[in-house]
Amino acid sequence: MTALVECVPNFSEGRNAGIVHSIEEAIRSAGAAILDRTSDHDHHRSVITFAAPAEKVGEAAFRGVCQAVASIDLRTHLGVHPRIGAADVVPFVPLKGVTLEDCARIARETGRRIWEELRVPVYLYEAAALRPECRNLADIRRGRVAEPDFGNIRLHPSAGAVVVGARKFLIAFNVNLASPDLEIARRIARAVRQSSGGLPCVKAMGVLLASRNQAQVSMNLTDFEQTPIHVAFEAVRAEAARYGVAVAGTEIIGLVPQKALEVTAAWYLQVENFVAGVVLEHRLENH
C-alpha cells in the first residue's frame, strides 16, 4: 500500500491566475496530484490541495514554495488575511499508510531545506513543532515567537517567512453575513472561537470582503468531530441574529472529508440512528 500524504499550502496570491498556475505546475512536476485550488480576491490568497506518496510530497511542496518565492513580493501585497510569507503556511496531513509523526518528519526536513536553499526563515508548527510556543499558528503570526526554527530573525525581503507543519484534517469554513459591518463579524468571531471561550477546536476572525460589500466570519475547524460544521454554523447564525443580521451564505475553502458532510446532513435532516451504512457509496465499497 502506497503511503499517501496530503499537503495544503496557502500562498499569498489570490488575484494573478498566472502566478498561481505556475505554482501548481511546479508542484505537479514532482509527481503530485493537484486535488483542488481555491483563490480569493479579498483574502488575496490561494489554497492548493495536493496529494503525493510520502517519499515525493516534500519535494512537491518545496518546488511550490520555490516558485512562490520567485513570483510573489509581499512588499506590494494587500489582502485581509493575516500572513507572514509568500508561501505562508505549508501543512502536511496523513492520508493513508502514514502517521502524523511521519508527516512531522517530512515537515521538518522540508523546512530545513527551504532555509538552506532559499534562505527563507522557517517556523515549525502543530505536530512538527520543536517548541511548545510554536504549536499554535496564530501565535507565530502575531509575532509571539521571535526566533525561527531554521534561519535567523531577519525576514526574506520579498518572501517573508514560511510556517511548515503537520496536522490532522482541518476544515476552512466561512460564513458570509448579509451586512458590511466588520465590527459585527469580529464580535461573532470572538464569541465562537475557542481562544475567547467559544467552541472547542474553532479558530475564527472577522474580515470584510470589499468586492462583495459583505462581512465574513472566517473559521478553521481543527477537529470536526469535536465541533462539526453544523454546530459552528448555528453558533454563528445565532450570534448574527442577536445583531439583527442574517447569513447570506457559506464557503468551504479547499476540500472537506465526506464524514464531516454526512454528520451535518444527518443532523439537519434529523435522521434517527444515522450510520454510515445508509450511504450508498459506503455500501458499495463494502461489497
Domains and CATH numbers, the chain: 4-166 (3.30.990.10), 171-257 (3.30.70.670)
- Measured in degrees and rounded to the nearest 5, phi and psi for residue 255 equal -110, 165
User: pLDDT by residue (tens digit) across 108-159?
Assistant: 999 999 999 999 999 999 999 999 999 999 899 988 888 999 998 889 999 9
Is the predicted pLDDT of residue 14 greater than 90, yes or no? yes
User: pLDDT by residue (tens digit) across 224-277?
Assistant: 999 999 999 999 999 999 999 999 999 999 999 999 999 999 999 999 888 888
**Active-site residue identified among 43, 81, 156, 287:** 81
Q: Confirm whether 81 is a catalytic residue.
A: yes
**Residue 230: Cβ within 10 Å count:** 17
Distance CA 65, CA 86 (A): 8
Distance CA 213, CA 89 (A): 28
* Residue 30, CA distances (Å) to 24, 56, 58 in order: 11, 7, 9
